[in-house]
Structure 1
Amino acid sequence: MARRGSVSRAAVLVTALTAVSTLFGFLRDVVIAAVYGAGASLDAYLVAQGLMNIVLGLIAYAMARSVIPVTAREAAAEADGCTRHSGFDVALTVTMVVLGLGAIVMGIFAGPVTSLIAPGFEGSQAQLTQQLTRIVLAATVLIAGTDLLAAVAQAHGRVVWSSLQGVPFNIIMIGAAGVFGPRYGITALAVGFVVGSGARLLLQLPPLRALGTRIRPSLALRDPGFREIARLVPPLLVGSAIGNINTLVDRAVGSTLEEGAITALSYGWRLVNLPETLLIASLLVPLYPALSAASKDPAEVRRLVGRGLAVTVTVLAPLCLILALAAAPLVDLAFGRGAFDAGDAAATATAVIWYAPALIALGCRQVVVSASYAVGDSKGPVLVAVAAMLVNVVGDILLAPIFGLAGIAAATSASLLGAAVLNGWLLHRRHAGLDAGAAAALVGRAALLAAVAGGAGYGVAGLLDGEHPAVLAGAIGAAVGGLYILGLLVLRAPERHVPLDMLRAARRK
């Protein structure tokens, strides 16, 4: 019972802290949109960022995820506080060396690689992309170090500093865009990205000092802890690389569409992904170590997965409807100022509508995949990720020439929905880690309530068409959210208790 309460309290704490970082991230996007709009220069910056993510995706994310289960078990066995994790020392050293060399190689071959990942860019835009790529690659090692140090702190239950890391980063990015952007153009944003990444790394040092953790460079590749970490890396490596490949393909195909399409897709995804980042991803920070600790107890794994899915579906289902029905006013409220004109807003709203179904799929997939990793199954999620990637790539190629950026967004949503279902089925069949009956009932109730609440929201949108964006979005949100909550109460759905349980945990803390 104590473990259940601690996970709930940690989830509330992480959610609150993540909200602060997310607010600054939203302000960052608003400033960037106002200064740069949705044009060629910001498209080039996003492609350059994508190239940097290739390097990161090859090892950093996979290594950080692999560190948590091993370090969490070591932390649970410590009697006199945290001193040193030798396996982590080796993992950190190897990651820094590999990523440093990878960034250098990518910088040298930025020209041909850029031509490959953005075939629609020509002339000055292609040259700008190469220049920005060489700048942002400098952040590769900084971001990887941040993720690894944060993983150690999280394994010891210290989640505050990792949850706040976005604050200094976003403040620096806001200053780079707002103060230096008008004078130095998009280059100011790339430099700000590197400086902000350094600030994120520095923010991970206080919790390690408080724990007394000693980190030393080491290349003792035979260390038992590192060998266990290394065994988890390959499948996670493939999984993280697949995610980056999806983004790269989206942007490669987007580069062949109208100018600003890549930026519109990026802003649309950020708006859709905001609730998942704020609520569901923050839940998984304490949930993943809890799942790892309960990996030998199928009943507890099922309980934790069921709770995670209940929160995900209950929170995200009405939000998906609100995003789809109020896409235009929400985009106008979020980005409609400065250089971000009506055409940019219309393109971004289209992306939001077609990305909206991906929100609930992404949240559910993260819950079940985290459970699979915790019980030691990394092959299943990787195979599903490969299949989802193929759906996304084929969808991009087939749909983009016909439907433009709407086709790219729809392909992403379809791939994520399929991945969520397949991962859940594998977790149930292989590990009995998912109560299939309860999950089906949860989805069924959500679909029923979504149909009723969505119809009401659509009617409100028609009645108030032409009103101020804030009024229109607020009315749609109130209608959809209110009816959805009322429906939960009328149906006496078990998940109606989830928000209250989390609030009670917060009060107890």
Structure 2
Amino acid sequence: MATVSSERRRIASAATLILVAYGLSRVLGAVRELVIANTFGTGHNLDDYRVAFGVPDLLFNLLLAGAISSAFIPVLSEHLAKNEPERARQIAGRVLNASVLILTVGAAVLFVVAPWYVSLIAFGYSPTDHELIVTLTRILLLQPIFLGAGGMVIGILTAYQRFFAQALAPLFYNGAIIVAAAFFAPRYGVTALAVGVVVGAILHVSIQLPSLWRTGWRPAPGLGLDDPGVRKVGRLMFPIALGLAAAQVNVFVDTILGTSLPHGRVAALRYADTIAQLPLGTFSQALAFVLFPFLARDAAVHAIDSIRHRTALALRLNIFVLVPASVGIAILGVPITAALFERGQFDADSVRQTAYALTFFSLGLAGQAATALLVRVFYALQDVITPLRISLVVIAVNLGTNIILVQLLAQGGLALGTSIAATLNAILLGRALRGRLGGLE
């Protein structure tokens, strides 16, 4: 009983820390967007930046991001649960080396072919815009290397259930972008934003290194491609990365569809998404993030009852928080957007265009929250195939609905398609998990 009580206190303490940190990070993220909005409004140069940002984002999400951490944490947690800390550290070092190498090679390839794919994804833009997007993309390609390394460190610290340093990392990342937007962007334009992103990514990984060192981790040579633990991470990672790649194709299609709309609509869509992500980031994603290593250790010792209990409780908490938040955002979209962004170049029309998309994003918040949790339960169980199959179905539905809805509702149609997809994803994942666990408590 004392052990259970102690674990509950650890989860509660970690959850409180991460919730506060995520809340601060989302606030800083909103401040970041506020400063950017004040400087650029929804002008077309900002659209160039958003389009350019999508390419490094694709590299990060495809090759690392959720894929490798979702595969890596259960494997590391399994060895820690078996009291094999040296083996866990060995696998961690080798996977980190391989991840940084893959990201560096990927960034180098994209740097060379940047003019080609920019002309492909921004076909509705002028040659001058294309030139700027290529420049921004090449600067931003440094971001996934450092942010990817930081993400790997977060995975290691999460498996060790150490949350403080990783909670600070996003604050430094957003802080660097805010400084760039406030003090350098007025003079140097969107190029300053790109440089700020890279500096933020460097700070993101640097702030975590002392905590990583205290776990006993030390740099180790080699990639360990013949290491069974590294290979297991790779086997789990591939289906996750495939699902993320398909999802990123969806994001790219949204961007391409958005470029067919009047200038400023892509920026309005991204501002709306930033607002919609506030309740998700400050509560739902933080809760899922904290639970993940505990779920992974439960799975390692086959504690199915504990997994059912944790999952059911987290779903109830999400419904309790997200449903009222969705209603509030839908009703108060215009005043919320105006309060956050209406200043400088962000005028009344920018508010209307952003709030319009926000209304449709609000419909999918509960679905996004449930999906973030349920996917991690499957990953903790080392089942990566079920979420992949479901995601491919959902992505196909999302593509079809977005192509139709963008013609009817402009950027609101893209937001509505995202909400429909998120809700469908949550429903299908929930049904599959009930079958896997024999119900939810």
Could you state the TM-score of these two structures normalised by the residue count of structure 2? Answer: 0.95
1:165 pairs with one of 164, 169, 173: 169
CA distance in structure 1 between the partners assigned to 2:64 and 2:13 by the alignment: 28
- Answer whether contact 1:298 1:432 (CA < 8 A) is retained: no
- Tell me whether 1:318 sits opposite 2:313 in the alignment: no
Residue 308 of structure 1 aligns to a residue whose secondary structure is helix
Equivalent positions of 1:278-297 (< 5 A) are: 278-295=282-299, 296-297=302-303
Q: 1:84 deviation in Å?
A: 6.1
State the match for 2:125 in structure 1. 121
Residue 262 of structure 1 aligns to a residue whose secondary structure is helix
Equivalent positions of 1:428-507 (< 5 A) are: 428-432=434-438, 434-435=440-441
- Answer whether contact 1:24 1:170 (CA < 8 A) is retained: yes
- Answer whether contact 2:80 2:88 (CA < 8 A) is retained: no
Percent identity over the alignment is 30
- Answer whether contact 2:79 2:88 (CA < 8 A) is retained: no
State the match for 1:228 in structure 2. 232
State the match for 2:280 in structure 1. 276
- Answer whether contact 1:82 1:211 (CA < 8 A) is retained: no
Equivalent positions of 1:408-427 (< 5 A) are: 408-427=414-433
- Answer whether contact 1:25 1:166 (CA < 8 A) is retained: no
1:308 pairs with one of 285, 289, 314: 314
CA distance in structure 2 between the partners assigned to 1:215 and 1:228 by the alignment: 21
Q: Deviations over 1:440-489 (max 9, x none)?
A: xxxxxxxxxxxxxxxxxxxxxxxxxxxxxxxxxxxxxxxxxxxxxxxxxx
After TM superposition, which residue ranges in structure 1, 4 or more long, deviate above 3 angstroms?
Answer: 76-79, 81-84
Q: 1:222 deviation in Å?
A: 1.2
Equivalent positions of 1:246-395 (< 5 A) are: 246-295=250-299, 296-395=302-401
- Tell me whether 1:68 sits opposite 2:73 in the alignment: yes
Q: 1:428 deviation in Å?
A: 0.9
1:401 pairs with one of 403, 407, 411: 407
Q: 1:83 deviation in Å?
A: 8.5
Q: 1:12 deviation in Å?
A: 1.3
State the match for 1:57 in structure 2. 61
Q: Which amino acid aligns with 2:185?
A: G
- 5+ residue gaps, structure 2, are none
Q: 1:280 deviation in Å?
A: 1.1
Q: Which amino acid aligns with 2:93?
A: D
Count, aligned residues: 434
Q: 1:57 deviation in Å?
A: 2.1
Could you state the TM-score of these two structures normalised by the residue count of structure 1? Answer: 0.83
- Tell me whether 1:9 sits opposite 2:13 in the alignment: yes
1:130 pairs with one of 126, 129, 134: 134
Residue 85 of structure 1 aligns to a residue whose secondary structure is helix
Q: Which amino acid aligns with 1:384?
A: I
Q: 1:390 deviation in Å?
A: 1.1
Q: 1:9 deviation in Å?
A: 2.4
1:36 pairs with one of 32, 35, 40: 40
Q: 1:127 deviation in Å?
A: 1.6
Q: Deviations over 1:78-137 (max 9, x none)?
A: 48x779622222211111111111111111111121122222222211221111111100
Residue 164 of structure 1 aligns to a residue whose secondary structure is helix
Q: 1:433 deviation in Å?
A: 5.4
Q: Deviations over 1:141-194 (max 9, x none)?
A: 101100001110111111111111111112211111111111101100001111
CA distance in structure 1 between the partners assigned to 2:147 and 2:303 by the alignment: 34
- Answer whether contact 2:330 2:359 (CA < 8 A) is retained: yes
2:160 pairs with one of 148, 156, 159: 156
State the match for 2:99 in structure 1. 95
Q: 1:207 deviation in Å?
A: 0.8
Name which of structure 1's ranges 358-367 and 6-15 shifts more when overlaid on structure 2: 6-15
CA distance in structure 2 between the partners assigned to 1:260 and 1:151 by the alignment: 36
Larger Rg: 1
CA distance in structure 2 between the partners assigned to 1:343 and 1:217 by the alignment: 55
CA distance in structure 2 between the partners assigned to 1:274 and 1:82 by the alignment: 39
CA distance in structure 1 between the partners assigned to 2:234 and 2:102 by the alignment: 14
- 5+ residue gaps, structure 1, are 436-509
CA distance in structure 1 between the partners assigned to 2:364 and 2:439 by the alignment: 23
State the match for 1:214 in structure 2. 218
CA distance in structure 2 between the partners assigned to 1:185 and 1:421 by the alignment: 44
Residue 221 of structure 2 aligns to a residue whose secondary structure is coil
- Answer whether contact 1:25 1:170 (CA < 8 A) is retained: yes
- Answer whether contact 1:87 1:229 (CA < 8 A) is retained: no
CA distance in structure 1 between the partners assigned to 2:268 and 2:374 by the alignment: 30
